[in-house]
């Protein structure tokens, strides 16, 4: 006897096809997104500049009075070109070249913000909505249009796509991202009009004018939300991904964006409470330690929390759940990789050579970070007696090479070229530590399901960390690898249900490999009988 | 050191080569006419759909072969000279061997339909078939697929991702009901329709029609209908490729006849994989196993035999898996498509018709003998243990949660399934308590 099946006749006629095509909603979404992005890019060129010494509202807090004085010769003059205005400022305030480059950048940024005249200065909200607003709305519509397709893994046409297979659109996107990061990190003063659009929202949340870091934090969070919507739709059949994506959005919005903004609002030292050392490489820098130690109980709390997080919680949770709890559930870099970067995950190199390079690079960065931190702490406790100026230079080098160039420019800008985890795989020192714990002592493992693997290669192709998952799966070997961030995509794309992410007893992680299993051999039988 | 030559670089031939290398220093040459390197035939569909490129379907990097001293030769073998122990190749060369392995795979079936060799009519087996499919599907209005097996439904899914309307003729009343019991067959049938495929059940192909340009322009069915189309995919199954040995002293039946050690009647010639037909003493029908994992296991056994450790090939408990568009399928043990005398069965299906479970057990002692599951992943280890230990249906039902292999946080259906079983059998079984997610977190 069997349960009656309730089918209606209409179940057995072809449904309207849901495949492919650009639906009207998707098209509108795409157009809105492109208009938003174009507006965003155009804002860099909008407006003109005039220094009004009586109206330096933002700069007066950041730029010393004696520097401002030097601006009188150019005050009142209108400049149509951003470059000319910047040159004029530079030649007025730094004729003798005595200002440090970093400081000079800060002065220029705030002076330029006050000097901005024109549509954005008059209507920041309007421009904010026309750019960030439209692009976000468009992005959400574009992805929502997928809701009518049947749920399931739909990686159709990925390798035919110019965007997702290093075609011209992918190359342009990568180039755009790289330029964006270069401006953001080293030439923010060229970004002033764009940053000014964010003033009202920054004032609202932080009670402070926007700087490039607020712009970055806001866009970062918005991107994770919009591309998170994409993940929600893509994986609406897979709770692991739904919950994981919700967690990423929660930590990005709450921990990386909102809480630090509120700390600033209340004039406290601000910190992303989930950003563990050594990813957070400035945590033990002397200026941070001084700032925390001079900020009363709250500063002390941050210091203790940051230390406990890195020294106790990170290894403990990694023992319990593997690296994934951080890298694909909590971390901001991981969060962007899992949302904005998801369309590019297949571009990671799966070769053995890449694996060798990866191990050398990531562990070198870890060694670099550890040495730097030891120097920082020694320097702080000894008052600079031992390493002196060297600590500062090492910090500078690390910030530039690793913190900005690698984590930022390469980390994100290379999504369309080398996949979405370039930084996490080759550079992140925290990932290196998590990986060592995961490999040596953790309950996390990817179990393989007997002999069901058909060596199709979907798992390896879509592993963003470049792990050749199939190599293990087809031998029936459980997967325990330093680099695995537990994103769960290999298991999701496997058409034969071969892979499963699990937390088990650490000693039961290793299994008998099917490929080596002794079959029924006559020689063995003879030996058994003889014995 | 002997020279072992293997014809065919599919899973069976390659596994044989790998296992010979693991155990010996023999000179190994693998010959194939299809591709330079071993690739995964099971992934052909994903290349066409754009999920992967051909490069991704290669299970080993190209440097693997030279590193493991496995020589690869791209050539067609025309004939075997058994006396001289030599092969003559399509390019005129000859190659001698000490031991020869036939791993030549399968070929697509064609049943002598009028028009079956027209341009625009093709099967789907080889890499060349896939290239041909690219050509044949350029700017077409409709495709017809004939034959409702596993390859047919894959082809339907492939074409649908290119927005090509598909008419799919199957001889059976429900999709694959010559293998699947009716309930499961209906569930898949429903899903095929859900994907917008124009499935024609209990319908046979009569004739393939040519247009003025000599290419296919349509087909007629035994329902008296003419369907216009520019591609006809013939997918009514495959048969062993025995072209090379058909007229040689190597004995053949439907495939290359071998014993349980995968040895043919000619010394030093072996066969494995799709092309081998394993003689089953005392039974009317021999075994031909046309699966990925059986090819792999045969290669493992044969590798040992060739290295002097004569190994009886034993497939072990039957299992298999497939994916019907979005619905995954696994089977362990044996499930007949129509109930057998003495069998009892339990069937559960969810309301959305995307998940179901069928369990077959003996009416008398209630021992479970096989299962089909759709839309839920289950552990092969656990099911094989239960089947080997001859567990009864009550035990299996109670312990069902232990077999679950779905990703974390997936909806668990076991409670619902056991309830349905209790209703059917009048029992009051409770699922063995599986630790919940949070318990497992802190286990
Ligand atoms: C589209 C498709 C999907 C499939 N999906 C699944 C699945 O999901 N699960 C599953 O278990 N099985 C599946 N199969 C079946 C599985 O792929 C086969 O069982 C398996 O590939 C057979 O391996 P083999 O090594 O025996 O032969 P093959 O892989 O066929 O290799 C034989 C090789 O020998 C070459 N050859 C033959 N004769 C000569 C000659 N004279 N000279 C030179 N070379 C020669 C052929 O060109 C071929 O390259 C699928 C098959 C197809 C076509
Ligand atoms: S192995 Fe799987 S879970 Fe780990 S990073 Fe790769 S795809 Fe993600
Ligand atoms: S584990 Fe799954 S996805 Fe990976 S190769 Fe095997 S069958 Fe394909």
What's the rounded mean pLDDT across residues A299-306? 95
Q: Is A43 in the pocket of ligand 3 (CB under 6 A)?
A: no
Q: Render A448-483 in DSSP notation, one character per residue.
A: E-TT------HHHHT-TT---HHHHHTTT--B--TT
If one counts every other C-beta atom within 10 angstroms of the C-beta of residue B141, the result is: 10
Of B234, B261, B257, B6, give the one whose Cα is nearest residue B125.
Answer: B234
Count Cβ neighbours within 10 Å for each residue of A388-403 and write b for 16 or more, e otherwise.
eeebbebbeebbeebb
Chain A closest CA to B94's CA: distance in Å? Answer: 33
If one counts every other C-beta atom within 10 angstroms of the C-beta of residue B112, the result is: 5
Q: Is A188 in the pocket of ligand 2 (CB under 6 A)?
A: no
What integer pLDDT is reported at residue A17 of this predicted model?
62
Do residues B86 and B159 touch, judged by C-beta distance below 8 A?
no
- Cβ pairs A/B, distance under 8 A: 212
Residue nearest to ligand 3 atom 4, measured at CA:
A459
Q: Give 10-residue mean pLDDT values along chain B (443 residues).
A: 97 98 97 98 98 98 97 98 97 97 97 97 98 98 96 98 97 97 98 97 98 97 97 97 96 98 98 98 92 97 96 93 98 96 97 97 97 98 96 97 96 96 96 66 53
If one counts every other C-beta atom within 10 angstroms of the C-beta of residue B261, the result is: 17
Which residue in A has a C-alpha nearest to residue B379's C-alpha? A449
List where CATH 3.30.390.30 sits in chain B: 319-441
What's the rounded mean pLDDT across residues A290-294? 91
The answer to whether A503 contacts B441, with C-beta atoms less than 8 Å apart, is yes
What's the rounded mean pLDDT across residues A490-509? 95
The answer to whether B198 contacts A460, with C-beta atoms less than 8 Å apart, is no
Element (H, E) at B369: strand B368-374
Rg of chain A over Cα atoms, rounded to whole angstroms, equals 27
Which residue in B has a C-alpha nearest to residue A2's C-alpha? B347
Tokens 């059940």 appear where? B201
Instruction: Say which CATH topology domain B121-236 has.
Output: FAD/NAD(P)-binding domain (3.50.50)
Paired strand residues for A50? A78
What's the rounded mean pLDDT across residues A402-431? 96
Helix axes A239-250, A212-234, angle to 10 degrees: 170
The answer to whether B196 contacts A19, with C-beta atoms less than 8 Å apart, is yes
Paired strand residues for B94? B88
What integer pLDDT is reported at residue B434 of this predicted model?
64
End-to-end CA distance of chain A: 51
Residue B201 in tokens: 């059940």
Phi, psi angle pair for B323, to nearest 5°: -135, 125
For A:62-81, CB contacts with B below 8 A are none
For B:312-341, CB contacts with A below 8 A are 312-314, 319, 321-323, 325-326, 328, 330
Residues B266, B268, B269, B273, CA torsion sign: positive
Q: How far is CA A514 from the centre of its chain?
A: 38
Q: Is A231 in the pocket of ligand 3 (CB under 6 A)?
A: no
Does the CB of A152 have a partner CB in chain B at under 8 Å?
yes
If one counts every other C-beta atom within 10 angstroms of the C-beta of residue B285, the result is: 9
Which residue in A has a C-alpha nearest to residue B313's C-alpha? A520
The answer to whether A159 contacts B309, with C-beta atoms less than 8 Å apart, is no
List where CATH 3.50.50.60 sits in chain B: 3-107+239-306, 121-236
* Contacts B379 to A, Cβ<8 Å: 449-450
| Interface probe, candidates B17, B19, B50, chain A, greatest A C-beta count within 10 A | B50
The answer to whether B194 contacts A13, with C-beta atoms less than 8 Å apart, is no
Does the CB of A7 have a partner CB in chain B at under 8 Å?
yes
The answer to whether B161 contacts A20, with C-beta atoms less than 8 Å apart, is yes
User: Does residue A528 have a pLDDT over 90?
Assistant: no
What integer pLDDT is reported at residue A4 of this predicted model?
44
User: Which among A3, A454, A519 has CB closest to B348?
Assistant: A3
User: Which among A451, A488, A500 has CB closest to B405?
Assistant: A500
Residues A207, A209, A214, A216, CA torsion sign: positive
pTM of the model: 0.96
Query: Helices (DSSP H) in B24-114: which residue ranges?
Result: 44-49, 63-67
Residue A320 in tokens: 């319990």
Residue A222 in tokens: 């918005």
| Cα distance between residue B422 and residue B415, in whole Å | 11
Paired strand residues for B201? none
Q: Is B235 in the pocket of ligand 1 (CB under 6 A)?
A: no
Alpha-carbon separation of residue A253 from A223, A257, A335, A507, B298 (angstroms): 11, 5, 11, 37, 54
Tokens 């680099």 appear where? A483
For A:349-378, CB contacts with B below 8 A are 351-352
Of B63, B67, B99, B65, give the one whose Cα is nearest residue B82.
Answer: B99
DSSP, res A17: P
3 state SS of B28: strand
DSSP, res A2: -
Tokens 């994770």 appear where? A224
What integer pLDDT is reported at residue A516 of this predicted model?
75
3 state SS of A265: helix
Q: Is A473 in the pocket of ligand 3 (CB under 6 A)?
A: yes
* Contacts B193 to A, Cβ<8 Å: 11-15
Paired strand residues for B81? B86
3 state SS of A442: coil
Q: How far is CA B212 from the centre of its chain?
A: 38
Q: Render B124-162 in DSSP notation, one character per residue.
A: --SHHHHHHHHHHTTT-S-EEEE--SHHHHHHHHHHHHT
User: Which residues have CB under 8 Å from A294's CB, separation 6+?
Assistant: none
User: Does residue A9 have a pLDDT over 80?
Assistant: no
| pLDDT tens readout for residues A24-52 | 999 999 999 999 999 999 999 999 999 99
User: Which residues have CB under 8 Å from A507's CB, separation 6+?
Assistant: none
With the most atoms of ligand 3 within 8 angstroms of its CB, the residue from A450, A452, A459, A491 to mutate is A459
What integer pLDDT is reported at residue A518 of this predicted model?
67
Residues B293, B295, B297, B299, CA torsion sign: negative
User: Which residues have CB under 8 Å from A472's CB, separation 6+?
Assistant: A446, A448, A478, A479
The answer to whether B380 contacts A14, with C-beta atoms less than 8 Å apart, is no
What integer pLDDT is reported at residue B440 of this predicted model?
59
| Cα distance between residue B44 and residue B124, in whole Å | 9
3 state SS of B69: coil
Helix axes B380-388, B393-403, angle to 10 degrees: 160
| Cα distance between residue A483 and residue A439, in whole Å | 9
DSSP, res B177: T
Q: Classify residue A515 by burial, with Cβ atoms within 10 Å: 0-12, 13-18, 19+.
A: middle
User: Which among B190, B309, B312 has CB closest to A12?
Assistant: B190
| Cα distance between residue A270 and residue A79, in whole Å | 36
Residue A164 in tokens: 């997702």
Alpha-carbon separation of residue A8 from A5, A169, A510, B186 (angstroms): 9, 46, 49, 12
| pLDDT band, very low/low/confident/very high, at A429 (cuts 50, 70, 90) | very high
| Cα distance between residue B21 and residue B44, in whole Å | 28
Element (H, E) at B220: strand B216-221
Residue nearest to ligand 2 atom 1, measured at CA:
A484
What integer pLDDT is reported at residue A87 of this predicted model?
95
Q: Which is it for strands B356-362 and B368-374: parallel, antiparallel or unpaired? A: antiparallel
Of B262, B328, B324, give the one whose Cα is nearest residue B295.
Answer: B262
Domains and CATH numbers, chain A: 48-117 (no CATH), 433-518 (3.30.70.20)
Helix axes A212-234, A134-144, angle to 10 degrees: 10
- Greatest Cα-to-Cα distance within chain B, rounded to the nearest angstrom: 73
Q: Provide ipTM, 2 decimals.
A: 0.96
Does the CB of A20 have a partner CB in chain B at under 8 Å?
yes
Q: How far is CA A233 from the centre of its chain?
A: 20
Residue nearest to ligand 3 atom 7, measured at CA:
A453
Alpha-carbon separation of residue A281 from A410, A430, B5, B341 (angstroms): 18, 10, 58, 72
| pLDDT tens readout for residues B416-428 | 999 999 999 999 9
Closest atom of ligand 1 to CA, residue B35:
49
Does the CB of A477 have a partner CB in chain B at under 8 Å?
no
Paired strand residues for B220? B207, B226
What integer pLDDT is reported at residue A10 of this predicted model?
73
Q: Is A485 in the pocket of ligand 2 (CB under 6 A)?
A: yes
Does the CB of B58 have a partner CB in chain A at under 8 Å?
yes
Residue A174 in tokens: 């990568």
Instruction: Say which CATH topology domain B3-107+239-306 has.
Output: FAD/NAD(P)-binding domain (3.50.50)
Q: Is B106 in the pocket of ligand 1 (CB under 6 A)?
A: yes
Residue A482 in tokens: 């330093």
Q: Which is it for strands B3-7 and B27-32: parallel, antiparallel or unpaired? A: parallel
Do residues A156 and B163 touch, judged by C-beta distance below 8 A?
no
Closest atom of ligand 2 to CA, residue A489:
7
What integer pLDDT is reported at residue A1 of this predicted model?
37
* Pick from A142-156, A253-267, A419-433, A501-515: least confident: A501-515
The answer to whether B312 contacts A521, with C-beta atoms less than 8 Å apart, is yes
| Interface probe, candidates B321, B382, B387, chain A, greatest A C-beta count within 10 A | B321
Residue A329 in tokens: 């559930």
CATH H superfamily, domain B319-441: FAD/NAD-linked reductase, C-terminal dimerisation domain (3.30.390.30)
| A318 phi-psi bin (left φ>0, alpha ψ -120 to 50, beta other) | alpha
| Cα distance between residue B188 and residue B193, in whole Å | 9
């Amino acid at each position: 006897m069997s349960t009656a099946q309730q089918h209606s006749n209409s179940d057995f006629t072809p449904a309207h096809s849901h495949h492919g095509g650009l639906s009207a909603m998707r098209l509108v979404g795409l157009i809105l997104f492109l208009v938003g992005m174009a507006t965003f890019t155009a804002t860099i060129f909008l407006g003109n500049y005039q220094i009004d010494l009586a109206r330096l509202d933002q700069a007066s807090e950041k730029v010393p009075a004696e520097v401002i004085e030097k601006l009188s010769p150019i005050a009142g003059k209108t400049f149509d070109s951003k470059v000319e205005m910047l040159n004029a400022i530079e030649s007025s305030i730094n004729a003798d070249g005595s200002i440090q480059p970093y400081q000079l950048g800060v002065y220029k940024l705030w002076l330029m913000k006050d000097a901005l005249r024109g549509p954005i200065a008059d209507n920041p909200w309007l421009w904010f909505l026309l750019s960030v607003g439209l692009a976000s709305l468009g992005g959400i519509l574009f992805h929502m249009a997928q809701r009518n397709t049947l749920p399931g893994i739909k990686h159709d046409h990925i390798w035919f796509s110019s965007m997702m297979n290093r075609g011209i659109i992918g190359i342009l996107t990568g180039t755009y991202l790289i330029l964006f990061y270069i401006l953001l990190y080293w030439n923010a003063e060229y970004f002033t009009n764009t940053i000014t659009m964010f003033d009202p929202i920054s004032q609202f949340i932080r009670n402070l004018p926007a700087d490039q870091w607020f712009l970055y934090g806001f866009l970062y969070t918005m991107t994770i939300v919009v591309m998170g919507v994409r993940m929600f739709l893509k994986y609406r059949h897979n709770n692991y991904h739904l919950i994981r994506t919700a967690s990423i959005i929660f930590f990005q919005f709450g921990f990386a964006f909102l809480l630090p903004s509120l700390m600033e609002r209340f004039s406290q030292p601000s910190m992303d409470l989930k950003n563990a050392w050594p990813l957070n490489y400035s945590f033990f820098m002397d200026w941070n330690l001084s700032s925390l130690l001079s900020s009363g109980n709250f500063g002390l709390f941050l210091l203790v929390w940051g230390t406990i997080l890195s020294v106790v919680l990170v290894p403990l949770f990694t023992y319990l759940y593997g690296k994934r709890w951080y890298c694909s559930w909590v971390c901001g870099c991981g969060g962007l990789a899992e949302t904005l970067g998801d369309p590019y995950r297949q571009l990671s190199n799966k070769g053995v050579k890449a694996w060798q390079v990866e191990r050398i690079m990531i562990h070198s960065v870890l060694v670099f970070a550890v040495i730097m931190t030891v120097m920082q702490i020694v320097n702080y406790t000894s008052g600079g007696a031992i390493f002196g100026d060297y600590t500062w230079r090492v910090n500078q080098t690390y910030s530039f090479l690793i913190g900005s160039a690698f984590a930022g420019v390469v980390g994100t800008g290379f999504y369309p070229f080398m996949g979405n985890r370039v930084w996490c795989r080759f550079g992140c020192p925290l990932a290196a530590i998590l990986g060592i714990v995961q490999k040596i002592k953790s309950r996390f493992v990817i179990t393989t399901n007997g002999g069901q693997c058909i060596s199709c290669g979907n798992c390896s192709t879509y592993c963003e960390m470049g792990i050749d998952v199939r190599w293990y799966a087809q031998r029936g070997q459980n997967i325990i690898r330093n680099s695995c961030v537990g994103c769960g995509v290999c298991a999701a794309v496997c058409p034969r249900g071969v892979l499963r992410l699990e937390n088990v007893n650490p000693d039961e992680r290793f299994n008998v490999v099917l490929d080596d299993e002794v079959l029924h051999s006559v020689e063995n039988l003879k030996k058994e009988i003889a014995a | 050191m002997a020279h072992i030559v293997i014809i065919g670089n599919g899973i069976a031939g390659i596994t044989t080569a790998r296992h010979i290398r693991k155990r010996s220093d023999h000179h190994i040459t693998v010959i194939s006419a299809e591709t330079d390197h071993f690739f995964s035939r099971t992934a052909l569909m994903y290349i066409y759909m754009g999920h992967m490129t051909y490069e991704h379907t290669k299970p080993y990097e190209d440097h693997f072969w030279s590193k493991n001293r496995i020589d690869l030769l791209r050539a067609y073998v025309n004939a075997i000279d058994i006396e001289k122990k030599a092969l003559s190749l399509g390019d005129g060369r000859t190659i001698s061997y000490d031991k020869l392995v036939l791993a030549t795979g399968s070929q697509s079936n064609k049943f002598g339909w009028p028009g079956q060799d027209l341009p625009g009519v093709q099967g789907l087996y080889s890499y060349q078939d896939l290239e041909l499919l690219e050509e044949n599907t350029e700017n077409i209005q409709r495709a017809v697929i004939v034959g409702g097996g596993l390859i047919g439904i894959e082809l339907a899914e492939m074409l649908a991702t290119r927005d090509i309307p598909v008419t799919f003729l199957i001889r059976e009343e429900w999709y694959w009901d010559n293998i699947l019991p009716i309930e499961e067959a209906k569930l898949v049938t429903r899903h095929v329709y859900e994907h917008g495929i124009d499935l024609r059940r209990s319908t046979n192909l009569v004739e393939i029609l040519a247009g003025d340009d000599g290419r296919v322009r349509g087909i007629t069915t035994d329902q008296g209908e003419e369907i216009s189309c520019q591609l006809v995919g013939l997918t009514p199954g495959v048969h062993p490729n025995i072209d090379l040995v058909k007229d040689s002293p190597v004995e053949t039946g439907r495939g290359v006849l071998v014993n349980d050690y995968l040895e043919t009647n000619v010394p030093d010639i072996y066969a494995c994989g799709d092309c081998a037909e394993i003689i089953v003493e005392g039974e009317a029908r021999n075994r031909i196993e046309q699966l990925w994992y059986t090819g792999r296991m045969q290669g493992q056994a044969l590798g040992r035999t060739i290295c002097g450790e004569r190994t009886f090939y034993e497939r072990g408990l039957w299992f298999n898996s497939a994916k019907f568009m979005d619905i995954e399928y696994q089977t362990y043990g044996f499930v007949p498509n129509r109930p057998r005398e003495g069998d009892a069965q339990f069937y559960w299906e969810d309301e959305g018709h995307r998940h179901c479970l069928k369990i077959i057990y003996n009416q008398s002692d209630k021992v479970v003998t096989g299962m089909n599951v759709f839309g839920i992943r289950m552990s092969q280890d656990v099911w094989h243990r239960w089947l080997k230990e001859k567990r009864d249906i009550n035990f299996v039902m109670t312990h069902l949660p232990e077999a679950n292999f779905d990703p974390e946080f997936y909806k668990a259906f076991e409670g619902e399934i056991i309830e349905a079983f209790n209703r059917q059998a009048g029992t009051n079984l409770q699922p063995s308590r599986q630790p919940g997610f949070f318990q497992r977190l802190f286990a």
